[in-house]
Amino acid sequence: MPDSVKLTVNGVAVAAPAGAMVSTAVAMAGANAFRRSVSGEPRGPLCGMGICFECRVTIDGRAHCRSCQVVCREGMEVRTDG
């Protein structure tokens, strides 16, 4: 079992620790804003447990995924709002 998992965040390659959540990968990629709010504010995780929906990103084309509850998988393509 490899120690790290390779995925991309907004096209940038990230090596996340095995078992890490996608939220970790997004933070490691240096993206501050996981999503933009209704009025355009940058937002990131608030609750850490899949309730607040502030950590939403697009994973492999599927929108509105809660990144704090999805484990990184090899080859995942993650997109944030900015």
Partner 1 sequence: MADRAFGVVVVGAGPAGLTAACRAAECGKRVAMLDDNPQAGGQIWRGASPQAAAWMRRAERLEVEWISGARVFDAPAPQTLAVETFDGEFRVGYGSLILATGARERFLPFPGWTLPNAMGAGALQALAKSGLPLAGKRVVIAGSGPLLLAVADYMKAHGVDVRAIAEQAPQAAITRFAMRLAGHPGKLMQAIALRAGLLGVPYRTSCWPVSAQGKDRIESVTLRNAAGRTWTEACDYLACGFGLVPNLELAALLGCRIASARVEVDDQQQTAIAGVYAAGEATGIGGLELSLVEGEIAGYSAGGNVDRAQALFATRASHRRFAQALEAAFALRPELRSLPQPGTIVCRCEDVSFERVRACANWREAKLHTRCGMGPCQGRICGPSVEFLLGWGAESVRPPVFPARIGSLSR
Partner 2 sequence: MGNSFDVAIAGGGIVGAACAEECAASGLKVVVVEPGPVGGGATAAGMGHIVVMDDSPAQIALTNYSRSLWMARAQEFPGDVEYVAAGTLWVAADEEEMAEVRRKLDVYHSIGVRASVLDARDIAKEEPNLRPGLAGGLLVPDDAVVYPPCAARYQLERARQNGAVLRIGESAASLSGAGIKLRDGTLLSAGITVNATGAWAPELTPGIEVRKRKGHLVITERYPGWVRHQLVELGYLKSAHSTTEDSVAFNVQPRKTGQLLIGSSRQFGAEHREIDHHMLVRMLARAQEYMPGLAQLSAIRSWTGFRAATPDKLPLIGPCPGDERLYVATGHEGLGITTSMATGKLVAALILGQTPAIPAALYLPGRKQEAHA
Of 8, 43, 58, 79, the one binding partner 1 (CB under 8 A) is: 43
* Distance (Å, whole) CA 50 – CA 3: 25
List the beta bridge partners of residue 10.
none
- Using CB under 8 A as the binding rule, whether residue 3 contacts partner 2 is answered as no
Using CA atoms, how far apart are residues 37 and 2, in angstroms rounded to an integer? 36
**Taking CB under 8 A as the rule, does residue 64 contact partner 2?**
yes
End-to-end CA distance of the chain: give it in Å, rounded.
32
8 DSSP β-pair partners: 13, 77
15 contacts partner 1 (rule: CB under 8 A): no
Q: Is 62 in the site for partner 2 (CB under 8 A)?
A: yes
| Interface residue list for partner 1 (CB under 8 A) | 16-17, 19-21, 23-24, 27-28, 32-34, 37-39, 41-54, 64, 68-71
| Interface residue list for partner 2 (CB under 8 A) | 38, 62-64
